[in-house]
Structure 1
Amino acid sequence: MDKLGLTSGAQSLRRALMVLRMLGQNQEEGLTLVQVIERVGLERSTVHRLLTCLVEEGFVERQEKGKVYRLGIDAVQLGTAGLRRMPLIDKYDALLQRLARISGDTVFFVIRQGDFCLCLQRQEGHFPVRVFTTNVGEKRLLGIGAGGLALMATLPDEEIAALVQRHAKNYAQMGFSLADMMVAVRETRQAGYSRIVDTITEGVSGVGCAFQVSPTQWAALSFGAISQRLPLARQHELGALLLQEALRQDF
């Protein structure tokens, strides 16, 4: 180990992983060579060499139209395999089951993935009318669902503004502006948990809370239910429950 606490002799591997992580966070739109260079902060020749190698190995693909890079089939297969048995899911599975049993409602477990949140797990409650606004493996822009809003609230204001700008058209189509987002973010920060009503599906509400699962990774737990089951008082009750559980987690 070197003086920074990083494994010595693995610089190229670490840089390649950094590039893969950056591409994964921008998979939908892809990144050009210049964008990758700007975001990873490496020399052009280094980034070009890494991308060329990753393309040759099938972990990255380059689209001629627009000349953008995205994760390749081998990287996608690894990710899919990981979802089938992820230690993170195993670690929090019992908690999801307990929260679903206590509330009777659907509980979601999501993580941040770049500008999006990825649903890793969903646990159904016993209430007959169940809410499935997000499927396991599905991604949504940060700030839309309860979990995504809780995750967005962990970001600095300037990063949120840049994120909304990058996806301005998508947010606008869903009826969200930066001003709307910032109001919701400030309310979430003040309470410690997020609250949404009718933002994804009419008649559906949610409550979410974010917490760190590693030094670099944030996750969120959220409840989803029909709005009749989540009046304001119960939103605060469930929010307090999530905040209490989040504070107990220790990565």
Structure 2
Amino acid sequence: MLSDDTIAPPDTAQQRDRETGLSKDADAEKKNSTPNVRAATRAMTILKSFAGKAGQTLAEVTTATGLDKGTTRRLLLTMMDSGFVLHDPATQQYRLGFAIRQLAASVAGEFDLRTMALPILNELATDLHMTAFLSVYKDGETICLERVHDMRGIEVHWWPVGGSLPFNCGGAPKLLLSYRPEAEIARMLKRPMVAATPKSITDPAKLRAILTKIRKQGWVLGVDDVAIGLSALAVPVRDGEGEIACAVSVAGLTPQLVSRGKPLHLDRMLAAAAELERLLRTSL
């Protein structure tokens, strides 16, 4: 006879089957989920490789990430479909897309500029019957962080939240560039310039002279250089250390902003900038 200690309990075999089944299920789940996790990790690695770079070729992305060419290309195409990556056929370079900018615009920095500026932008839009903007300079581009329309005035749609404007057009792009270090200005002036309208400045020497004037006077009026018949007035906002943190601007019909070649509402814009500067200082 077998001793008692050699006889398995009645449910041991069933328990063993259940454990085996659970183990197989876990293995199957792991196999099914691992490729997705790996793909996500690789996609994030690709996105991070663009830090500090305006664009990269496929070979440059492959080198930066250590991924093989086929995998890199497939992931870039997938992210292009979702708007996270753009491709320039002329230069064969990939760039971060508008989806990234839209997400970045929702991220609070050291101080949440958008939250602090929104009431000020609302007042500007309502009082002046125009569209008010908050923007920052980032990696050679001026990015719109917030845009507020007045329901009774003209709605300017040329600059969406998360989007950028050419550095030589509009009010805020030229204003923010004018306060950059000389080396940065020189680098930007070597780039090709877009002529959004016949009024857009595309000559580097002329633009440099205008940037010098903007920095000296502390504001800029852009007339008809993004869209004919529309103008923009922009003023700088400094942080607690005196550095340029952002720009506040309004855009509308040219007669709303210009009279005899001079800007209307400049005092109102400077007061709005001063209020945002006060909020920035008290947030330190």
Give the TM-score taking structure 2 as reference length.
Answer: 0.60
Confirm or deny: 8 A CA contact 1:112 1:219 kept in the other structure.
yes
Q: Distance between the aligned counterparts of 1:31 and 1:97, measured in 2?
A: 39
Aligned residue among 139, 142, 147 for 2:172: 147
Return closer, same or farther for 1:50/1:141 CA change in 2, 3 Å cut-off.
same
Q: Distance between the aligned counterparts of 1:135 and 1:90, measured in 2?
A: 17
- What aligned pairs does 1:219-234 form with structure 2 within 5 A after superposition? 219-230=246-257, 231=259, 232-234=262-264
Q: 2:151 matched to 1:121?
A: no
Aligned residue among 149, 161, 165 for 2:186: 161
- The match for 1:96 is 121
Return closer, same or farther for 1:130/1:156 CA change in 2, 3 Å cut-off.
same
Q: 2:127 matched to 1:109?
A: no
Q: Per-residue CA shift, 1:198-249, capped at 9, x if unaligned?
A: 1111121211123356989842110112111112251533443344235423
Confirm or deny: 8 A CA contact 1:209 1:246 kept in the other structure.
no
* AA partner of residue 150 (structure 2): G
Q: Distance between the aligned counterparts of 1:237 and 1:67, measured in 2?
A: 46
Q: Per-residue CA shift, 1:18-65, capped at 9, x if unaligned?
A: 854213xx1xxx2359999xxxxxxxxxx9465649959x699898x8
Q: 2:224 matched to 1:194?
A: no
- What aligned pairs does 1:195-210 form with structure 2 within 5 A after superposition? 195-210=221-236
Q: 2:265 matched to 1:240?
A: no
Deviation of 1:138 (Å): 2.0
Q: Per-residue CA shift, 1:163-190, capped at 9, x if unaligned?
A: 1212246689844211221222122111
Q: Distance between the aligned counterparts of 1:130 and 1:169, measured in 2?
A: 23
* AA partner of residue 210 (structure 1): P
Deviation of 1:121 (Å): 1.4
- The match for 2:33 is none
Return closer, same or farther for 1:153/1:245 CA change in 2, 3 Å cut-off.
farther
Unaligned runs of 5+ in 2: 1-45, 80-84
Return closer, same or farther for 1:166/1:96 CA change in 2, 3 Å cut-off.
same
Deviation of 1:81 (Å): 3.9
Confirm or deny: 8 A CA contact 2:156 2:251 kept in the other structure.
yes
Deviation of 1:131 (Å): 2.9
Return closer, same or farther for 1:221/1:32 CA change in 2, 3 Å cut-off.
same
Over the matched positions of the two proteins, sequence identity in percent amounts to 18
- The match for 2:205 is 179
Q: Distance between the aligned counterparts of 1:170 and 1:104, measured in 2?
A: 28
Deviation of 1:158 (Å): 3.3
Q: Distance between the aligned counterparts of 2:64 and 2:136, measured in 1?
A: 31
Q: Distance between the aligned counterparts of 2:229 and 2:255, measured in 1?
A: 8
- The match for 2:36 is none
Q: Distance between the aligned counterparts of 1:113 and 1:131, measured in 2?
A: 22
Match of 2:51, SS? Answer: helix
* AA partner of residue 198 (structure 1): D
Q: Distance between the aligned counterparts of 1:214 and 1:33, measured in 2?
A: 42
Deviation of 1:148 (Å): 0.9
> How many residues are treated as equivalent by the alignment?
218
Match of 1:209, SS? Answer: strand
Return closer, same or farther for 1:200/1:128 CA change in 2, 3 Å cut-off.
same
Shifted more, 103-112 versus 120-129: the winner is: 120-129
